[in-house]
Amino acid sequence: TTDNQNHPPIFELKAELNSDKKEKKKEAVKKVIASMTVGKDVSALFPDVVNCMQTDNLELKKLVYLYLMNYAKSQPDMAIMAVNTFVKDCEDPNPLIRALAVRTMGCIRVDKITEYLCEPLRKCLKDEDPYVRKTAAVCVAKLHDINAQLVEDQGFLDTLKDLISDSNPMVVANAVAALSEIAESHPNSNLLDLNPQTINKLLTALNECTEWGQIFILDCLANYTPRDDRESQSICERVTPRLSHANSAVVLSAVKVLMKFMEMLPKDLDYYGTLLKKLAPPLVTLLSAEPELQYVALRNINLIVQRRPEILKHEMKVFFVKYNDPIYVKLEKLDIMIRLASQANIAQVLAELKEYATEVDVDFVRKAVRAIGRCAIKVEQSAERCVSTLLDLIQTKVNYVVQEAIVVIKDIFRKYPNKYESVIATLCENLDSLDEPEARAAMIWIVGEYAERIDNADELLESFLEGFHDESTQVQLQLLTAIVKLFLKKPTETQELVQQVLSLATQDSDNPDLRDRGYIYWRLLSTDPVAAKEVVLAEKPLISEETDLIEPTLLEELICHIGTLASVYHKPPSAFVEGSRGVQHKRIPGNLGSGESVESPDNGSAAGVTEAPPAVIPSQGDLLGDLLNLDLTPPTTTGPPPISSGMQMGAMDLLGGGLDSLVGLRHNTERSFRSPSPPDYSPTEVGPGGHMGAGFGAPPAVMPASFNAPVSVGLDDLFDLGGGVGMPMGAFNPPKTVWLPAMKAKGLEISGTFVRRAGVIQMEMNLTNKAMSVMTDFAIQFNRNSFGLASAGPLQILTPLSPNQSIEAALPLSTVGPVMKMEPLNNLQVAVKNNIDVFYFSCQYPISMLFVEDGKMERQVFLATWKDIPNDNESQFQIKDCHLNSDAASNKLQSSNIFTIAKRTVEGQDMLYQSMKLTNGIWVLAELRVQAGNPNYTTILKSKQRITSLIIIHTVSERPFCTNWNLICYIL
């Protein structure tokens, strides 16, 4: 057969390889490589192939080398056979052979032979031919990857540094690349101690080396921090010509250097303005590159527009979507259009968005409709036009368009109260067609909020109540709140309705958040209706214009990573690169100008954290004292002062009855009531401290009387689980629970849990076939969710699942999927498909899965951050009946990536200062107080990002996090 001709059996090849004839030998090696290429295992021929190595035929030599690279690792003992030839080839008169040998050597990743390669490498690093030197420079990085110690001991790093001064630009570029690579994995090695002299050398080489070399050099320059604004300007001046390079990657790397160094220039400098003007044209030109490069450019422009909106403010038109743009380009352009929308261009933008909203691509259309809403909120003058455009779109009756429109109209109502309510009637007409939770929830919110203007509000809400238990949590919570609002507005005719919803929420629901909220309302309504009215119908703060800005410190870090994957994902490298723990976060140094005032507040705070001079931040020891002085006061006074006595009474009343955790809870309750919701969030999520949630199991009939009993029982249970039984050390992995009962999924039962192992989140599932027929073709998919969890591969169930059979499946998850705020925050909606049908279920993952391995904050940063965080961002909890001492608790928490930064003991009370970091880069700080002999811990949680990041608002001030904090406490 032809296959046999191309890929003959091993024994035949063996004979041919040992042939005396050169030509035959070469053909045989070619056949071996051909077999290797199609994936056949030809490692058995190792000695025979290596025997062909000593040849003066260059092509044959290259083939043998190729073979060696592929199989040396599987035959380490025999790889030694090749050493002699390498040594010899490194001294060949032909530089092509010398370079080939040194290049291949480094690719033989066998530890045993590396030490034999040091001498040849040393010679090649000093070779007279630059081609050999540039290859040897890279070889140092290769060797370092295999045996770092050896490379250091041999002094190769110094030789590599010397090569930065080489006369040949290509050698310089490769030396820079190799050093950067090594420095990346050894952040403290101080390898790239860039100083003005080396910078000057690099800038000179920049003019002469290949396009790729220019990228290496620019990426390296981006790590440098100039001494002053003059140096900064001079580097910028020498980098700017690169913006005219034909290679998009050179342009983006130059943009990175300029964006970073620009921060150090005084803003009133003429040159600053010149530079800003120079950046726009090349960024626009990137949009004519190949689509993948356009995509990278657009993701970066998205960052640049957030950091320096003035650069592209006049370039709206270039972001208009073309019919033949790939979908990923379309979606990114749309995002940038919204960011650039202003009063000056809004008419054009709206015309475009309306055009897009009638396209056919569902995701794109949805985003376009949402964009119209965002324009309304951002540009007040356009609000009316936006609303009428949305109404036109609702008239199209295209289902998903209507639903998106209703979701955004709700936000418009929140931004401009008492202005557009006349459209409510039109919205109500579409009530029946809403089948998505977000749209249903939005509509219910509207009905509740404007109940007094909607004659049949009670009927409308009642119609939702019928299928209460089939609704998603988001809808249930909204429905509960809406009906309570309705009751407070029209008490006479809706008493029955409110009774009904309260009983549904408290009695029949498994969801602690829903139950809690139900009880709160119940208590409020029964104790003090006037207070209830003040709380529930309180005036809501307006929502802010920009809802999805990247948090400033993350944005700064991402600016330093322009052009890289981090800038594409909009995530810090530590969120997706393994082993990057301890790697320093890149930061933009503050303005270095002489005596210039720092302009924007974010600029200032950044400078404070990173560049703060010693005068401001004292030595570390003092720091900690400082830190602790902040909070030495007893917990009762850490909360904000009560705001109105009436309110406080209400809250106290509500919680009366001897709750142990009264103090902590009261603070939370007050805070939630006082600012009913964060600015960009619907106003109804009023909720108290979450740790009570799990405890509220009592039937409502006896609720007021025995309120406290079930609570403590519940909490005891909760903490017994971890503390009593004694979980093994290691990260916290909750037990599997049933997610999808067989009844609901035609016989398929799924139970599962989430684990985090070696930095990878996994969903571990048990699939059981309780039906009569075989199940096959499994597939899984997630809905968008708060943290962008997505399956990182297909669901691996290869064999059919027979009746009564069970199978375990582990699905690795990434956190780079599409993000959408969920309620509760950690809710994950999953669709599982098999040959029978598609099934949907939701499950909740413990937030602790999202704590990344490099969540240990530096002490100084911790202090600065802790101080920075306003009290409003604080939540306090108690963890009860935990019998570990503080060190054991700290260890246990560390295995779940909750790191203790500092510990201090005051009057027998241990205080642990802890940090954790979520996969989306958000930091959460904690103070854990452990009193010897007292099994109840107190925890205070803080997080900096409150206003700008949608998610953290939930994380900190909303119940779900609290619930999750309890989950974390299982670990104890």
Partner 1 sequence: MSSSAIFVLDLKGKVLICRNYKGDVDMAEIDHFFPLLMQHEEDGLLCPVLSRGNVHFMWIKHSNLYLVSTTNKNSNASLVYSFLYKLVEVFTEYFKELEEESIQDNFVVVYELLDELMDFGFPQTTDSKILQEYITQEGAKLEVGKSKVPTTVTNAVSWRSEGIKYKKNEVFIDVIESINVLVNANGSVMSSDIVGSIKLKTMLSGMPELRLGLNDRVLFALTGRDKGKTVVMEDVKFHQCVRLSRFDIDRTISFIPPDGESELMSYRINTHVKPLIWIESVIEKFSHSRVEIMVKAKGQFKKQSVANNVEVRVPVPSDADSPKFKTSTGNAKYVPEKNMVVWTIKSFPGGKEFLMRAHFGLPSVENNELEGKPPITVKFEIPYFTVSGIQVRYMKIIEKSGYQALPWVRYITQSGDYQLRSNV
Q: Which of residues 791-830 bind partner 1 (CB under 8 A)?
A: 792-794, 812, 814, 816, 818
Question: Which of 25, 238, 440, 880 contacts partner 1 by CB under 8 A?
Answer: 238
In the range 251-280, which residues lie near partner 1 by CB under 8 A?
Answer: 252-253
* CB contact burial 508-520 (16+ within 10 A = b; e otherwise): ebebbbbbbbbbb
**End-to-end CA distance of the chain, in Å?**
66
Using CB under 8 A as the binding rule, whether residue 293 contacts partner 1 is answered as yes
Region from 227-235, 556-564, 661-669, 670-678 binding partner 1, contact rule CB under 8 A: 556-564
Sheet holding 923-931, edge to edge: 874-879, 937-942, 923-931, 909-917, 899-906
State how far the Cα of 210 lies from the Cα of 797, in Å rounded to an integer: 48
> Which of 21, 30, 126, 227 lies at the binding interface for partner 1 (CB under 8 A)?
30
The verdict on 358 binding partner 1 (CB under 8 A) reads yes
Q: Is 921 in the site for partner 1 (CB under 8 A)?
A: no
Residue list 563-582, contact with partner 1 (CB under 8 A):
563-569, 573, 576-578, 580
Q: Smallest distance, Å, CB 162 to partner 1?
A: 17
Q: Which of 3, 5, 20, 360 binds partner 1 (CB under 8 A)?
A: 360
Smallest separation, CB 102 to partner 1 (Å): 10
User: Rule CB under 8 A: is residue 838 a binding residue for partner 1?
Assistant: no
Return the residue of 47, 155, 196, 241 that touches partner 1, per CB under 8 A. Answer: 241
Q: Is 129 in the site for partner 1 (CB under 8 A)?
A: yes
Residue 836 found at the interface with partner 1 (CB under 8 A): no
Give the per-residue contact string, 397-436, with partner 1 (x = CB under 8 A; - = no). Answer: ----------------------------------------
Helix axes 58-71, 22-37, angle to 10 degrees: 40
Site string for partner 1, 82-121 (x = CB under 8 A): ------------xxxx-x---x--xx-x------------
Question: Which CB sits closer to partner 1, 363 or 392?
Answer: 363
Distance CA 776, CA 724 (A): 42
Burial 695-717 (b: 16+ CB within 10 A, else e): bbebebeebeeebbebbbebbee
- Considering only the stretches 292-300, 379-387, 412-420, 455-463, report the one whose residues sit in contact with partner 1 under the rule CB under 8 A: 292-300
CB of 405 or CB of 953, closer to partner 1: 405
Q: Which amino acid is at 494?
A: T
The helix (run of H) or strand (run of E) holding residue 844 is strand 838-844
| Least CB distance to partner 1 at residue 570 (A) | 12
Of the candidate spans 53-61, 381-389, 407-415, 957-965, the one that interacts with partner 1 by CB under 8 A turns out to be 53-61
Measure the CA angle with vertex 25, ends 23 and 29; round to 5°. Answer: 120
The upper half-sphere exposure of residue 757, i.e. CA atoms within 13 Å in the direction of its Cβ, equals 10
Give the residue, chosen from 7, 25, 31, 242, that forms a contact with partner 1 under the rule CB under 8 A. 242
Q: Does 317 interact with partner 1 (rule: CB under 8 A)?
A: yes
Cα 586 from Cα 561, distance rounded (Å): 8
Residue 31 in contact with partner 1, rule: CB under 8 A: no
C-alpha span between 40 and 34 (Å, rounded): 9
Residue 248 touching partner 1 (CB under 8 A):
yes
Residue 171 makes contact with partner 1 by CB under 8 A: yes
Q: What residues contact residue 378 under an 8 Å CB cut-off, 6+ apart?
A: 338, 341, 545, 546
Residue whose CB is less far from partner 1, 124 or 879: 124
Task: Compare residues 265 and 401 and give the one whose CB is closer to partner 1.
Answer: 401
Q: Does 3 bind partner 1 (CB under 8 A)?
A: no
Count of residues that interact with partner 1, criterion CB under 8 A: 117
387 exposure class (CB count in 10 Å sphere: 0-12, 13-18, 19+):
buried
Site for partner 1 in 757-796 (CB under 8 A): 759-760, 781, 792-794
Give min distance, CB of 655 to partner 1, in A: 46
Q: How far apart are CA 752 and CA 764, in angstroms?
A: 5
The strand pairing partners of 931, in sequence order, are 909
Q: Which of 19, 51, 147, 180 binds partner 1 (CB under 8 A)?
A: 180
DSSP 194: -
234 touches partner 1 (CB under 8 A): no
3-class DSSP state of 680: coil
* Residue 824: cis peptide before it, omega within 30 degrees of 0: yes
Q: Which is nearer to partner 1, 402 or 461 (CB)?
A: 402
Work out how close the CB of 784 gets to partner 1 at its nearest, in angstroms, rounded to a whole number.
10
* Interaction of residue 561 with partner 1, rule CB under 8 A: yes
Handedness of CA 91, 97, 102, 105 (dihedral sign): negative
Kindly tell me which residue out of 165, 197, 200, 210 binds partner 1, with binding defined by CB under 8 A: 210
Give the nearer residue to partner 1 in terms of CB position, either 361 or 493: 361
Q: Which of 272, 295, 400, 839 binds partner 1 (CB under 8 A)?
A: 295
Burial (CB < 10 A; 0-12, 13-18, 19+), residue 790, is middle
Kindly state whether residue 292 participates in binding partner 1, applying the rule CB under 8 A.
yes
- Nearer to partner 1 among residue 566 and residue 745 (C-beta): 566
In angstroms, rounded to a whole number, what is the distance separating the alpha carbons of residues 535 and 539?
9
**Residues of span 318-357 touching partner 1 by CB under 8 A:** 318, 320, 322-324, 326-328, 348, 351-352, 355
Distance (Å) of CA 520 to CA 256, 530, 535, 682, 863: 52, 14, 11, 18, 36
10 Å CB burial of residue 3 (0-12, 13-18, 19+) is exposed
Q: Of the two residues 158 and 208, which places its CB atom closer to partner 1 in the complex?
A: 208
**Contact present, 357 and 386 (Cβ < 8 Å):** no
